[in-house]
Amino acid sequence: MENLHVILIGAPEDADLAEKILRPLANRRSVWSLIGHVKLADLPALLTRCTLFIGNNSGPQHIAAGLGVSTVGIHSGVVDAREWGPKGTRAVALQRAMTCAPCYHTKPAECPRALACLRELSPRDVLQVCQQLLATTLTGGKQVAAPSSRQALRVRSERQRGQLFEPLTKLC
């Protein structure tokens, strides 16, 4: 992927996590950490300059989707992504289909499955959804197929007449 630039955003207490993400990168010149440097009031101006937002169930995810930025929200099984996912025609909630979800646990230690809803959501699946969302955005809304995966995923979109991504069925 050429000409790809990534910006990490977050609160000052996320700086250690940002360093863990940045440390193994081969091309750090394409990734900038703005962790702790972007005020909430300035966030919309930054997000409107982005082609794609990828993030967890957080305020910035909802701000990006509300601004019309293509958004991929990554959700655990703790909440129902249909209720808490990003809204908009270019917003997708990605969540692993789990029989125990939504569980509404408040602490990772409460999960008897060691957060399988997050740990088994592969970066490859997230990348495929991002590529397809961008392809659809850049082709004026032409529908694309859902990503294939060994894992069952729920991919939800707000597309009114037919979903942007059809929900995936459980695969063995």
How many other C-beta atoms are found inside a 10 Å radius of the C-beta of residue 161?
4
Query: What are the structure tokens assigned to 159, written together?
Result: 């597309």
When pLDDT is cut at 50, 70 and 90, the band that residue 33 belongs to is very high
Q: Which residue has the tokens 């005020």?
A: 39
Domains and CATH numbers, the chain: 39-119 (3.40.50.2000)
- Return the half-sphere exposure (C-beta side, CA atoms, 13 A cut-off) of residue 67: 20
| pLDDT, tens only, 62-116 | 999 999 999 999 988 888 888 888 998 889 998 888 888 899 888 889 999 988 8
Least confident of 54-63, 95-104, 153-162: 153-162
Please tell me the predicted confidence (pLDDT) of residue 171: 25
- pTM, rounded to two decimals: 0.77
CB 88 within 8 A of CB 110: no
CB 65 within 8 A of CB 133: no
CB 80 within 8 A of CB 93: no
pLDDT of residue 44 exceeding 70: yes
Residue among 103, 110, 6 at smallest CA distance from 53: 6
pLDDT of residue 59 exceeding 90: yes
Which H/E stretch holds residue 105?
Answer: none
Q: Per mean pLDDT, which of 61-70, 77-86, 141-150, 151-160 is the most reliable?
A: 61-70
